[in-house]
Amino acid sequence: MKFGLVLKELHRSENELAHHLLVISERHKVDHEIYHLARDLSRWSQQHVRDIAALAGNYGENLDPEPRSEAGLMETLREKGSEMVGRRPETGMLLLRDLREVYLQACGVSADWELLAQAAQGMKDQDLLGLAEKCHPQTIRQMKWANGKLKESATQVLVS
């Protein structure tokens, strides 16, 4: 069984997704919807990291239960930079790039949850299946949010 490898990859991917959502929230702080919702969605991935780490030991992996944290100085610099550039045209293109990246990351994480769920179901592993059933819908919601914001923002950014 290779559940440990899948859990290790999910742990890494969820950590990256959580971190990227935090970076986006700071980079686009002047857009209050992006700022607050990205932070909320990041907390889901941070909890997934903890949940994965809690089960990983049963499958031969020792994973850090603490999600990747933000560096204080970098967070401050991104926030100040966001305040300085405000709503300039260049920030719209940056937002589209950031949302695209979140969407692609969430798609990858979703595929990994799907793989884990299928294997867990086949092996009748209720712990892993329960984890996938809990976390996968939240990842799909993260993906849908990024895709929806891309659709909402694309016309305004690209036509103006």
Task: Set out the domains of the chain in order of their start, with CATH numbers.
Answer: 3-159 (1.20.1260)
Asked if residue 140 lies in contact with residue 37, where contact means CB atoms within 8 angstroms, the answer is no
DSSP string, 20-81: HHHHHHHHTTTSHHHHHHHHHHHHHHHHHHHHHHHHHGGGT----SSPPPPPHHHHHHHHHH
For residue 75, what pLDDT is reported?
A: 55
CA distance 127 to 49: 15
Digitized pLDDT (tens) for each residue of the chain, 160 residues in all = 689 999 999 999 999 999 999 999 999 999 999 999 999 999 999 999 999 999 999 999 999 999 987 655 455 554 555 444 455 556 889 999 999 999 999 999 999 999 999 999 999 999 999 999 999 999 999 999 999 999 998 888 777 7
For residue 66, what pLDDT is reported?
A: 93
CA distance 23 to 70: 8
For residue 82, what pLDDT is reported?
A: 46
For residue 88, what pLDDT is reported?
A: 55
